Chains A and B, each alone.
Chain A
Amino acid sequence: MSSPASEMRGAPAVGAADAVIDATGVHRWYGEGDARVEVLRGVSMRVLRGEKVAIMGASGSGKSTLLSILGCLDRPDAGGYRLDGVDVLQLSDDEVSDLRLRRIGFIFQAFHLVPQLTILENAEVPLFYAGVPLRERHDRAKSKLEQVGLGHRLHHRPSQLSGGEQQRAAVARSLVLEPPLLLADEPTGNLDTENGKAVLALLDRIHAEGRTIVMVTHDSAIAERADRTVHVRDGLIVDSAHAPAGKATA
Chain B
Amino acid sequence: MSALNVTAGFVQLAFRNLRGYKLRSFLTTLGVVFGIASVVTMLAMGRGAKEEILREIDKLGIRNVIITSVKPAETKGGAAQRTWVSAYGLRFKDLDHILATVPGIARALPVHSYAEQAWFGSRKEDVVVQGVTAGHFDAVKLKVAMGRDITDDDNRVRRGVCVVHLGLLRALGWFGDPIGFRLQVGEQVYEVVGILEDEEFRGLARQALSSPAPSQGEVYAPYDTVITRVGLMSYTRRSGSFEASNVEINTVVVEATNQDDVLVVSRMLRTLLDKTHDVKDWEIVVPLELLAQREKAQRVLDVALLTIAGISLLVGGIGIANIMLATVTERTREIGVRRAIGAKRRHIVGQFLTETILLAGAGGILGVGLGWVGTFIVGQFTQWEARFTPDVALVALVVSCAVGVMSGILPAWRASRLDPIQALRYQ
The interface of chain A, by Cβ under 8 A from chain B, is 1, 68, 71, 73-74, 93-94, 97-102, 104, 106, 108, 112-117, 121, 125-126, 128-131, 133-134, 173-174, 177
Contacts and interface: CB of A to CB of B under 8 A. Distances in A.
A97 B9 contact: no
B13 interface: yes
A116 B346 CA distance: 21
Interface stretch (B196-204, B337-345, B361-369): B337-345
A73 B422 CA distance: 10
Interface string B6-30: 1011001100110111000000000
Contacts, number: 80
B421 A68 contact: yes
Contacts of B420: 73-74
A73 B8 contact: no
Given A112-B424, A115-B20, A117-B16, A126 B341 contact: yes
B16 A97 contact: no
Contacts of A121: 16
B349 to A, nearest CB: 12
Nearest to B427: A110
A218 B1 CA distance: 43
B341 A129 contact: yes
A177 B340 CA distance: 14
A86 to B, nearest CB: 15
Interface residues of B, number: 29
Contacts of B6: 131
Interface string B367-402: 000000000000000000000000000000000000
Contacts of B339: 73, 97, 100
B243 interface: no
13 contacts: A68-B421, A74-B421, A94-B344, A98-B344, A100-B341, A112-B336, A117-B17, A126-B341, A128-B9, A129-B341, A130-B342, A133-B5, A173-B341
B334 interface: yes
Contacts of A94: 344-346
B337 A100 contact: no
B333 interface: yes
B283 to A, nearest CB: 72
B340 A116 contact: no
B21 A116 contact: yes
B303 to A, nearest CB: 43
A161 B337 CA distance: 19
Given A73-B420, A116-B19, A125 B341 contact: yes
Nearest to A95: B344
Contact of B340 (A98, A112, A133): A112
A185 to B, nearest CB: 10
User: Nearest 3 pairs between A and B by C-beta?
Assistant: A101-B342, A116-B20, A131-B1
A131 B5 contact: yes
B182 interface: no
